[in-house]
Amino acid sequence: MFSILYVFLGLFSFFFLLFIFKTLLSLIQWNGRFKQNLLITAILFAAAFVLSRFIEDGLRIPIVDDFPIVKGLFIIALAIWLIKTYVNNKRLGKQYRMGAHSSFSCLHKYGIPQIPQTAMTAIYVTPDKVVIDWKNKYFELPLYKITGAAAVTQSILSNNYGYLTPEATKRIGRYLSIQYGLPGEPAKLLIFDMSTVFKAKAAAAAVTYHLQESAQSTNGTIQL
């Protein structure tokens, strides 16, 4: 019986180490799979931990000094936090240099052929345009082309691809839909997975705010 348990322990340990590497890589590459890999890593660690305790001494919960992996996990968690902080600070630095009022990290879902689906991107909202940053490649959407922005649900994306109909904006979801196009042209869409409803609402509100400000101003003159 114990030989089988050792086989499982070896497998859990191998995949645990593999997913530590994948988690760090996904964070460094910023490809949107960080949370998924981190969850799998935690599950594999828990499985290996419980199984090793069962084999060695009947599920005795060791203190940190007895179990070096706990220290290792703490160091890994600290490294991940430092990398994430660095990435966020880098985005905020770009926001300042662009003169953007707000910025958001998100996953590109639809709308820009040059950007792969689920690729990690950053959105910068300025007073006259929305800028999408993917690996230091910038895609600018002038504000005058934007006809609306809203936080929509997955079902709305499935039913009407995220077009901003009155029905689409009744329910709030985690996806940011930006609709744009010139008068007389078919409407186009940019769709982003913001990961949370709060971020999607904040991003939509930022775009909408500048749309309203732009509509009231022409050549620097506020229209009353």
Q: What is the pLDDT of residues 80-125, one digit of tens each?
A: 677 777 777 888 888 888 888 899 989 999 899 999 988 889 999 9
Is residue 121 located within the same domain as residue 218? yes
Domain encompassing residue 126 = 99-222
Question: Same domain for 116 and 143?
Answer: yes
Burial track 169-204 (b if 16+ CB lie within 10 A, e otherwise): beeebbbbbbbbeeeeeeeebbbbbbbeeebbbbbb
Entry pTM: 0.65
Residues 142 and 196 in one domain: yes
Q: How many residues does the chain have?
A: 224
149-204 pLDDT tens trace: 999 888 777 666 556 666 666 778 889 999 998 888 888 889 999 988 899 999 99
Please tell me whether residues 125 and 154 are part of one structural domain. yes
Residue 194 and residue 126 share a domain? yes
